[in-house]
Structure 1
Amino acid sequence: MVSVSASALQQDALLQARTELTTGLRQTPPRLPYRLLWDEHNTALYDRIREQPEYYLNRLEMQLLHTHAPAVMGASGARTLIELGSDTGEKALPLLAHMTAPATYLPVDVSTSALNRLTDRLWHASPGTTVRAVAADFTRPWPAALREPGRRPVLVTFLGSTLGNLLPEERQGLLELVAGSLRPGDGLLLGVPLLHDVEGMVSAYRDAAGLMEAFYLHCLRILNRDLGTDFDLDAYAHHVAWSAPERRVEIGLRALADQSVLVPGHPAAHQMAFPCGEVVRAAVAVRFTARQLDGELSAHGFETVRHLPDASGRYMLLLARLWA
């Protein structure tokens, strides 16, 4: 039997993260891998961002969930709820309240500490629910706990407008994973940021309090601390722009002067150059139409059951079912 030490596993993870960062920074435009940009500070900061008046997405989604939870759960008939990127679990509560008992809830997140807090919260908020937390990256092949979750039908939820943070190939990859892990009759509930006026879409990422800027500058601090890079935080400014061809908001950091950034690695370190004015992209926020998503879902074996938009036309819940 071969034993692998914890330190060796940590070194492997560090090497993988540095390689992922180097690959991202070499792209055109250079890109920061989204999964590397989170720690306890940024998680707490994002909770504050979601409460800002400019950031309407979370507010509209919560309103839709409370309004349509009975209809969603009635149409899905779900006995098991799988939430991808569960965060605090607050968005699962309206759905769990209208599930047929006994209900099973599988929150999925890469953060075990977040899952532990969520489990404690659900113990008090929904005591009749069986909670089985799954620490996993849901963008990669799913573990058995998700592919064989128990009572069916299953409803998978992907909320928080996170669908819009995926590039087209990433979105298609996720839909393929979900479809391949479900059975006919299982459902999928998406939180969908809709295409509307450009100023409204862009302003969501330019809050007056400056929290969004603080979030993305802290991303560089995370990379310096965890991966050993040497980004100069004073040499970058928050950048938000609308890209009409891709129908998305692009968020990142613009170099205020010529920059040279060291990314440690094995067997050699990489020196990355960014000229003044170049934008290092940290996230995208795609905006969709209902017709577009219906087509993408259909290509992966889903049929749309209901569109549930808000009155302003800026956000929508979409319920789909895997074909029999």
Structure 2
Amino acid sequence: MSDRAEALRTDVRSGFSAAQKWLPAKWFYDARGSALFEDITRLPEYYPTRAERETLAREAGEIARVTGASTLVELGSGSSEKTRLLLDGLRAHGTLRTFVPLDVSASALDEAVAAIRADYPGLEVHGVVGDFTEDLGLLPGEPPRLVAFLGGTIGNFLPAERIKFLRSVRAVLAEGEWLLLGTDLVKDPETLVRAYDDAAGVTAEFNRNMLRVVNDLLGADFDPGGFAHEAYWDAEREWIEMRLRATEETTVHIPGAGMTVHFAEGEYIRTEISAKFRAGGVAAELAESGFAVERWWTDAERRFGVSLSRAVREG
């Protein structure tokens, strides 16, 4: 069994044994899932990508000036499209030597690396296939480094997990190195729900792709069409939950996990949380994790926040 299948088996055993079934959002992604997410970023309802890109386009030069980064590391790089704005800013500033994209999807990473190498001759590009919650120690690159964690992906962690993750990033950085973090901001529920439940049904297919990943890696017999996509705004916790709800009673066999799982009609799997943030909360969590916010930007409509933080002396 591959390392990836082994990791999924662990998560399936844990998540499907819980009273409220769940799986981590990272299991959306294989080649198909990565392609579907790229489609989502172009949907009219999905504002985060456009809002973040607007801010990066405006501030890339300032990010390069403040950090003077020699190495740009991107966690969960996907296609690396927004990263080109940072690459251009750093190259124009004259400091950029190395780009290190890390992604769980080997196919998406291979495509991104090939495209970056073709468009940025002379730039050292070291693609790393890995899980950014576990494999940060694999990252090469000379300091000063700028780690970019974009797209609001930090919102997929529960609060305690966010602090643990941010501390793990801090642990691989030297004092004075940098973190660029994208955080979706709290706004009206209608806008938020539409962003995760688009009219064309692309997000629904992306959500169901998690079941296909379980089928492919663990030999399960999920019928993805038997689960309805839902996006729910939890106002108390200020996060969106994505769910897959069984449309009828069903039993699923998962040989690779040694499990048979029963779903009652209406029972759901929580496949993602996407927390939304306020500026003060972002600064507080970063401070707790060993970072000091040096710059805070939003798009013109204040939908999405981008923070640039410096790793500070701990203790």
The reply to whether TM is greater than 0.5 is yes
CA contact (8 A) 1:306 1:319 kept: yes
- Map residues 162-177 of structure 1 onto 2, 5 A cutoff: 162-177=153-168
Cross-structure match for 1:135: 129
Equivalence for 1:310: 299
* Alignment match, 2:97: 103
Q: Is the 8 A contact 2:293 2:307 kept in 1?
A: yes
How far, CA to CA, are the matches of 2:276 and 2:164 in structure 1? 18
Q: What amino acid sits opposite 2:175 in the alignment?
A: P
Q: Name the structure 1 match of 2:206.
A: 215
Change (3 A) 1:242 1:262: same
Q: 2:242 aligns to what?
A: 251
| Distance in structure 1 (CA, Å) of the matches to 2:189 and 2:76 | 27
Give runs of aligned pairs for residues 1-324 of structure 1, distance below 5 A: 10=2, 13-99=4-90, 100-146=94-140, 149-150=141-142, 152-265=143-256, 269-324=258-313
Contact 1:102/1:128, CA 8 A, preserved across alignment? no
Output the CA distance in 2 between the equivalents of 1:102 and 1:19. Answer: 39
Normalising by structure 2, report the TM-score.
0.92
What is the CA deviation profile of residues 64-109 of structure 1, one whole-angstrom value per residue up to 9, with x for unaligned ones? Answer: 1111101111112211111111111212211111222342111111
Cα offset for 1:158? 0.1
Higher Rg of the two aligned structures: 1
Deviations 1:105-153 (A, max 9, x none): 111112333222222211232224221222222211523544xx21x22
What SS class does the counterpart of residue 156 from structure 1 fall into?
strand
Q: What is the CA distance between 1:15 and its match in structure 2?
A: 4.3
Superposed CA RMSD in Å reads 1.8
169-178 or 55-64: bigger deviation: 169-178
Is the CA contact 1:37–1:223 (under 8 Å) kept in the aligned structure 2?
Answer: no
* Farther off after superposition, 33-42 or 311-320: 33-42
Deviation track 1:197-219 (CA, whole Å, cap 9, x = no partner) reads 11111110111111111222232
Give unpaired runs (5+ residues) of structure 2: none
Cα displacement (A) at 1:256: 1.5
Structure 1 segments (4+ residues) deviating >4 Å = none
- In 2, Cα distance between the equivalents of 1:184 and 1:277? 50
Shift of residue 238 of structure 1?
Answer: 0.8
Identity %: 36
Q: 1:303 is aligned with what amino acid?
A: A
Aligned residues: 310
Q: Cα offset for 1:57?
A: 0.7
Deviation at 1:196, TM superposition (A): 0.8
**CA distance in structure 2 between the partners assigned to 1:25 and 1:193 by the alignment:** 29
Given that 1:205 and 1:212 are in contact with CA atoms closer than 8 Å, whether structure 2 keeps it comes out as: yes
**SS of alignment partner, residue 114 of structure 1:** helix
Query: What's the secondary structure of 2:10's corresponding residue?
Result: helix
Structure 2 SS opposite 1:98: helix
Distance 1:143 1:51 in 2: 33
Taking the aligned partners of 1:217 and 1:178, their CA distance within structure 2 comes to 30
Q: Is the 8 A contact 1:255 1:278 kept in 2?
A: yes
Do the aligned partners of residues 223 and 105 (structure 1) sit closer, same or farther apart at CA in structure 2, a change above 3 Å counting?
same
Contact 2:219 2:256 in 1 (8 A): no
Contact 2:99 2:124 in 1 (8 A): yes
Give, in angstroms, the shift of residue 16 of structure 1. Answer: 4.1
